[in-house]
Chain A
Amino acid sequence: MLARDTPIRKKLMKIILFTSCVVLIMTTVAFLAYEVLTFRQNLTEHLSTVGKMIANNCNASLLYENRKDAAEVLSSLALEPHIVAACLYDTNNAIFASFPAAPPPSRFPPAPAVLGHHFENTHLIIFEPVIKDGKQVGVLYLNSDMGALFQRLQPYGGIAIVVGCCSLALAFALSDFLQRQISGPVLSLVETAKAISQRHDYSVRAPEQGKNEFGLLTDAFNNMLEQIHNRDLALHEAQQKLKDHADDLERRVAERTARLSETIAELESFSYSVSHDMRAPLRAMQGYSAYVQDKYADKLGAEGKIYLERISRAAKRLDTLIQDILTYSRISRAQLDLHPVDLDKLVDDIIQQYPGLQPPLADISIIRPLGCVVAHDAALTQVIANLLGNAVKFITAGQKPVVKVYAEPRGDQVRLWVADNGIGIAPADLNRIFGIFERIHPDKTYEGTGIGLSIVRKAIERMNGTTGVESELGKGSRFWIQLPVAQTQL
């Protein structure tokens, strides 16, 4: 009856109307029941009186068996419209006289029942003793229908219906008016909530409602709104701050990027200038030393020759250093386009290019196939040339370098090993050797700029690879580089 989705107004009205109806029906029923009971009581009294009168009037007729008189007395019952049947039983319980005079015999009980009255269906039955001189001479039977009751109840019913309808109408009007007292505050809360959820305006408040439960609910609701409002404000503030912060950060990043680009541009022009301008004097030094040695050899003397030789060597070292720095800087910033590179061919080409990597100066064995990796051809050539160069360079004096080059798959990468029989690296130095300008051997023993392995690490990093070394002092070194394997066969 009261579905969940029924609006509260209808629900309240239904509740009030339903309650009113029930009360009304109960009242009507009680009233009717009272009426019926009263009527029955009155009817019983009336019929008893009538019975006693009839019994008194016909006791003599019974005693003297005057049927005619008895019938006459009974016929006076015609004045009582509701008495439908009456009869007299003699002492033998036979019907002595009856009313109406000639009824169907089934209308009477064959013999008188217990004296007194009782209701049978809608009839009141009375058995009254007929007494003459203190002696019972017969029994009077009276049967009255309840027509009078219904006759009497009819107007009552009409009145009840009219009153009921009026009451219901009044109840409806009243309920419609009264339910507003309850639904009004609830609906106003609902409206407020709706407005807030639609407009997201948390400054709206529900109207005050007095001090009852609705007042408390409204206050609680408004309190809640207050809190939400405050949090909303705080959130907005925080968001704004965050945004300001982000903007600030973005601005700073942009500034720094600009500054960085500027620095990079400066560095580039610096290295460009280094590569052009700084090498020219070196070339001059080497060149003139060579000419002096060439053309004035006879005038120099042994010492002079040595000094010139040293000038030339120093210039050459500086030139190598400049070239290595340039290579490092180039590899650090140049765009390295990555393609599949055949390691076997690359290593062969490198060895072929440098006599120092070939017999009789060195013994380099390659365990094939080395496979293909994704790399930048020139950068990888530089890397492997540096590794092979180191492998044959750092060797105990007088020993012949024996180098092994082999590869092993590592997931979707290839690790290329360059293992030598050189002097090895102390554990403390293992971490240092890839740093720029890090040299762990004194200049005189092994010449170098300390940039070779930095170039290796930087170039491999730029080609999405990794690099490392395993070594023990005196037991040779095993350098490795690891690069993504090339799926396509060359």
Chain B
Amino acid sequence: MRTILLVEDNEDDVFFMQQATKDARIENPMQVAENGQQAIDYLAGNGAYSDRDKFPLPFLVLLDLKLPLVMGMDVLKWIRTRPELETMLVVILTSSRESRDIEAAYRLGVNSYLVKPPTPEMLRELVKSIGDYWIVKNEPPVGVGRKPAA
């Protein structure tokens, strides 16, 4: 099962996402990074994260924008400068539809931009469509996040 990395500092949102994935019957393991620096460390395999059995490289990163230490946009920028992560699927999942954020994110090469819905029900719907689209239907690039051979 390919891993999903959720970069989210708000524990409520982490809880809702975990509930929503469960409710949407997505069985992929979900790792959580609580801030931007942790996300970078995870992806780079720094320190404890070098253990790829325990912390496998994710095929999909769900990235919040407003994060402590390193902002989501900087995490995205960092990802896109790393040759081995260049093609990694990154989906922004954030609170606001600020047009400058949307513009900047796409300029930095994000794959999708989603806004957190207000109710659990709507979140479940959103997570379901993420699973349906990015996990089932989408053909990911070669390299990181490659689907296991059928």
Contacts and interface: CB of A to CB of B under 8 A. Distances in A.
A283 B8 CA distance: 14
Nearest to A327: B97
B99 A334 contact: yes
A284 B118 contact: no
Interface residues of A, number: 23
Contacts of B95: 275-277, 279-280, 283
Residue from the set B12, B16, B65, B95 with the largest chain A CB neighbour count within 10 Å: B95
Interface string A276-297: 1101111110111011001000
Contacts of A294: 120
Contacts of B123: 287
Contacts of B27: none
A294 B23 CA distance: 12
Interface in A308-366: 315-316, 319, 326, 330, 334
B22 to A, nearest CB: 12
B96 A326 contact: yes
A272 interface: yes
- Chain A binding surface, main DSSP class: helix
Contacts of B10: 280, 284
A284 B123 CA distance: 12
A280 B13 contact: yes
Given A284-B16, A286-B120, A288-B12, 15 more contacts: A272-B96, A276-B66, A279-B96, A279-B118, A280-B10, A280-B95, A281-B12, A283-B13, A283-B95, A287-B12, A287-B120, A291-B120, A315-B118, A316-B118, A330-B98
In the A-B complex, list the 10 residue pairs whose CB atoms are closest, starting with the nearest.
A275-B96, A284-B12, A276-B66, A276-B95, A290-B120, A279-B95, A287-B120, A287-B16, A280-B10, A286-B118
17 contacts: A276-B65, A276-B66, A276-B94, A276-B96, A279-B118, A280-B10, A282-B118, A283-B13, A283-B116, A284-B13, A284-B16, A287-B123, A290-B121, A316-B118, A319-B118, A330-B98, A334-B99
Interface of A: 272-273, 275-277, 279-284, 286-288, 290-291, 294, 315-316, 319, 326, 330, 334
